[in-house]
């Protein structure tokens, strides 16, 4: 059993203020797979104080960008060397199927490289020519680090969420307190080990697992200058209120209820095969999952039957089994939540095509949910409007393209989405009409050079690439 009995604060492993360790349970069979210390407010005080001191003294902040970039390239190389171990740890603690955690490792490399490339090309300082040639004044515009960043990430994809925040924040010269979920104490403890090997200056980085109350304490801390949060929309609203009251900088990547529009000319077989990954990745515990499937009425039953065959073919079970596509939910309460939504869908009158609230046979010892497809769903139903965060798909019919766009946009969320068509230009025209931060056409993968984030209740601000890097900087103008 792996044990982390110390906390990683300011680049060193130190004794926690609370000695009791948390048992980390396997979602597969609920056995204890690790034990780890958990941060309390006193530990957050130590981490923020270390970050504040390091930032104010300026050793990392004043390091040339090229040297900061080189340090983060060392981190990225270490992570690549340990990709298999990282995938294993996440599957062990999260229940994410092995295919998903392994497939995600090259994506982490691309994600980091996009930030580092952007940093190499970034305008850290530039001189502006006056608009009036006769003006005696010239201006120097700088992009400088914001200060102490509280980066708060969720449990569902810990390394990706951590990478999306600590790399741009550190490359920009900030000091960072990374607050991770208790469930991820195993993988994030290993992340801290990798960061320790990079050799950043004292105080620049802390990695602390902690509960919600301690997380709120960190976010409200007066010495935190920016909050970078990924998580639920409800939590995001509370964080935005705290940030507004204290005038902290804030970026929020929140929930989604994304639509996949299958256009009438689409290759249904290919579209359904694509839904397998766009909608059911990571056991359905993904904010970008396209869980509302919009199908043309003239081909509706073809889509429904295709999805039934797909979902029925997916193996549910032990995440360590190479044949498993869908593993367990992370916790018993998340399992209960998803099963309750399935019951709600039945009560609302949706047609249960496959699946249901029953636990898959033989998997009662874990946090398992039967993958479920609902048809004859109206977009006003709760199962079509609320983020379920599990392997539950709803198929909504539409009569024409305008109605498909209207249904896709009829959501409080706007994080992701997809369009399926044999005509890419037509699909692009439809995509332009959807009010969401990112879309894919015919199952394209995420592009890490472009900005990622949400419209409406799906968040504020953007991550990835040059735009994401810029959110960790402040503008300064010096006139001469």
**Sheet order of strands, 148-152 included:** 12-14, 7-9, 205-209, 175-180, 148-152, 226-230, 249-253, 459-460
> In the chain, count of helices (H) and strands (E)?
15, 21
Half-sphere exposure of 90 (CA within 13 A, CB side): 26
The answer to whether 67 and 29 are in contact (CB under 8 A) is no
Q: Which two tokens stand for residue 462?
A: 């953007």
Which of 183, 253, 285, 387 is an active site residue?
Answer: 253
Sign of CA dihedral 377, 379, 380, 382: positive
DSSP secondary structure letter of residue 437: S
How far is residue 144 CA from its own chain's centroid?
Answer: 26
Contacts of 214 (CB under 8 A, 6+ apart): 38, 39, 40, 41, 43, 44, 179
- Geometric angle at alpha carbon 470, from 466 and 471, rounded to 5°: 125
Q: Give residue for tokens 């990374």.
A: 178
Contacts of 197 (CB under 8 A, 6+ apart): 78
* Angstrom distance (rounded) from CA 197 to CA 329: 33
Question: What phi, psi does 100 have (nearest 5°)?
Answer: -75, -45
Per DSSP, the residues of 146-191 read -SEEEEE--SSSHHHHHHHHHHHHHHTT-EEEEEE-GGGHHHHHHH
Helix (H) or strand (E) holding 87: helix 83-94
Half-sphere exposure of 17 (CA within 13 A, CB side): 13
287 catalytically annotated: yes
57 catalytically annotated: no
Which of 93, 285, 287, 463 is an active site residue?
Answer: 287
User: Quick one: CA torsion of 103, 104, 110, 112, rounded to 10 degrees?
Assistant: -150
Return the number of other C-beta atoms located less than 10 Å from residue 390's C-beta. Answer: 24
The answer to whether 8 and 206 are in contact (CB under 8 A) is yes
* Angstrom distance (rounded) from CA 197 to CA 11: 9
* Angstrom distance (rounded) from CA 417 to CA 438: 7
Helices (H), 230-331: 233-246, 268-280, 300-313
The answer to whether 148 and 170 are in contact (CB under 8 A) is no
Residues acting as catalytic residues:
253, 287
């Amino acid at each position: 059993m792996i044990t982390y009995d110390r906390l990683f604060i300011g680049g060193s492993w130190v004794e926690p203020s609370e000695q009791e360790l948390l048992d980390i349970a396997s979602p597969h069979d609920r056995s204890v797979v690790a034990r780890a210390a958990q941060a309390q407010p006193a530990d957050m005080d130590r981490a923020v104080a270390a970050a504040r001191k390091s930032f104010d003294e300026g050793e990392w902040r004043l390091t040339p960008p090229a040297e900061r970039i080189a340090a983060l390239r060392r981190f990225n190389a270490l992570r690549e060397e340990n990709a298999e171990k990282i995938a294993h740890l996440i599957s062990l603690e999260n229940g994410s199927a092995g295919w998903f955690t392994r497939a995600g490792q090259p994506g982490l490399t691309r994600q980091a490289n996009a930030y580092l490339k952007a940093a190499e090309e970034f305008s850290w300082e530039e001189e502006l020519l006056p608009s009036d040639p006769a003006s005696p004044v010239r201006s120097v515009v700088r992009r400088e680090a914001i200060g102490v960043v509280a980066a708060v990430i969720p449990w569902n994809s810990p390394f990706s969420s951590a990478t999306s925040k600590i790399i741009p924040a550190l490359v920009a010269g900030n000091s960072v307190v990374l607050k991770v979920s208790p469930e991820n104490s195993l993988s994030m403890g290993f992340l801290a080990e990798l960061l320790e090997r990079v050799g950043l200056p004292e105080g620049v980085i802390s990695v602390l697992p902690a509960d919600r109350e301690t997380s709120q304490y960190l976010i409200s801390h007066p010495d935190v200058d920016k909050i970078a949060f990924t998580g639920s929309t409800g939590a995001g609203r509370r964080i935005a209120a705290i940030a507004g009251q204290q005038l902290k900088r804030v970026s929020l990547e929140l929930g989604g209820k994304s639509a996949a529009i299958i256009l009438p000319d689409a290759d249904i077989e290919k579209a359904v095969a694509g839904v397998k990954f766009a909608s059911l990745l990571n056991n359905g515990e993904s904010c970008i999952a396209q869980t509302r499937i919009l199908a043309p009425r003239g081909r509706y039953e073809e889509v429904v039957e295709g999805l039934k065959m797909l979902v029925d073919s997916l193996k549910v079970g032990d995440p360590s089994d190479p044949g498993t596509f869908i593993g367990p939910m992370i916790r018993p309460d998340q399992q209960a939540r998803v099963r309750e939504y399935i019951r709600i869908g039945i009560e609302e009158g949706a047609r249960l095509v496959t699946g249901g609230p029953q636990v898959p046979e033989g998997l009662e010892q874990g946090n398992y949910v039967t993958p479920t497809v609902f048809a004859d769903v109206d977009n006003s139903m709760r199962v079509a409007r609320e983020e379920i965060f599990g392997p539950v798909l709803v198929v909504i019919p539409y009569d024409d393209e305008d109605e498909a766009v209207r249904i896709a946009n009829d959501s409080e969320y706007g994080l992701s989405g997809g369009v399926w068509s044999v005509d890419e230009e037509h699909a692009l025209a439809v995509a332009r009409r959807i009010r969401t931060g990112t879309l894919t056409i015919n199952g394209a993968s995420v592009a890490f050079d472009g900005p990622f984030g949400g419209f409406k209740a799906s968040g504020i601000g953007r991550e990835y690439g040059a735009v994401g890097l810029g959110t960790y900087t402040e503008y300064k103008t010096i006139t001469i």
